[in-house]
Every structure is written in C-alpha cells, then in structure tokens.
Homo-oligomer: A and B are copies of this chain.
Amino acid sequence: MTPEEKLISLGIQLPEAPSAVANYVPWVQTGNVVMTSGQIPWVNGEMAYTGKCGGDVSVEEGYEAAKVCAINAIAQLKAAVGNLSRISQILRIEGNVHSAPGFTGQPQVLNGASDLIFDVFGDKGRHTRTALGIFEMPLNAAVQISIFAEVDSE
C-alpha cells in the first residue's frame, strides 16, 4: 500500500495543509530533506486541543492531539513532495508537549504522532524523536511537533 492508501485504510482524510499563522512558510526543502514548521492541532480551522497535558488535557486526549499534529505534518509533506511514496525516510519528530506541573508522560502523548507515522510509512517511518515538556504554547495548543523527512532524489 502507498502511504496515501494506508491513510484511507485508517479512515484519515488529509486536510488542506494548514497555513502558517504568521510571517513564515509551512515547509522548506534543502537537498533531499524537507522540514516542516511547528504543527499544532488544527482541525477544520479550529484549534482542536488546547491546554496542558497532565492538567486539563488527559494523556489520551494528548495522544489524539499529537496524532492530529502528525496528520497536519503529513499534509505539509504531501504539499512539498506531491506523492508521499517519494518520502524515503521520516527522519525526526521534534515533540513538544504543553505540560502541567509535574507531568512526565510526554513520551506517551507523542506516541500519538509516532504510532501514526509508523502506520502510514512502515519501515520508512522509523524516526528519531525529542520529547520536551513545554511551559506555554502559541494559541494554548496542547502539542506542537515538527517533522524532518528525506525525499528520494529523482
């Protein structure tokens, strides 16, 4: 299955790649590497998950928020490369979790992004990851991730 077919099999319809919320662009390519801007959990133009994980946002909700961020990041990658089969490797998820005091479950939250990336890209989805508990977030978003991906040269 192609990544696009895999997304359909998971019941996921890629959104329009979200626009940048300020004076920057949502992705760039240099050489064989595409990098996205920070992706937050936009759904249909609304910020779907706000607040602090481990506080007003549960780990389960945080997991869903991270999944939505990953869907938006995949939409950016598709905007960048046209055909997701051109992605030869997901290199990195920079994972940032808006965290309540004392919360240490950032890895569990970010698995919402990592699990989806593995489901969609298979072995090509084997990525590195960072996981930080962030104090405050733009628009009070619950999660923010960036993705770096390698593109096949053609």
Given contacts A108-B22, A136-B99, A138-B106, contact A131 B38 (CB under 8 A): yes
Q: How far, in angstroms, from A4 to B29 measured CA to CA in the complex?
A: 25
Using C-beta atoms within 8 Å of the partner chain, give the interface range for chain A: 35 or more
Given contacts A22-B107, A110-B22, A115-B23, contact A36 B128 (CB under 8 A): yes
Residues in B whose Cβ lies below 8 Å from that of A139:
104
A10 at the interface (CB under 8 A from B): no
Residues in B whose Cβ lies below 8 Å from that of A23:
111, 114-115, 118
Q: Are A35 and B128 in contact (CB under 8 A)?
A: yes
Which of A's residues lie within 8 Å of B, judged by CB? 20-28, 30-33, 35-38, 54, 89, 91-94, 96, 99-108, 110-111, 114-115, 118, 126-140, 144, 146, 150
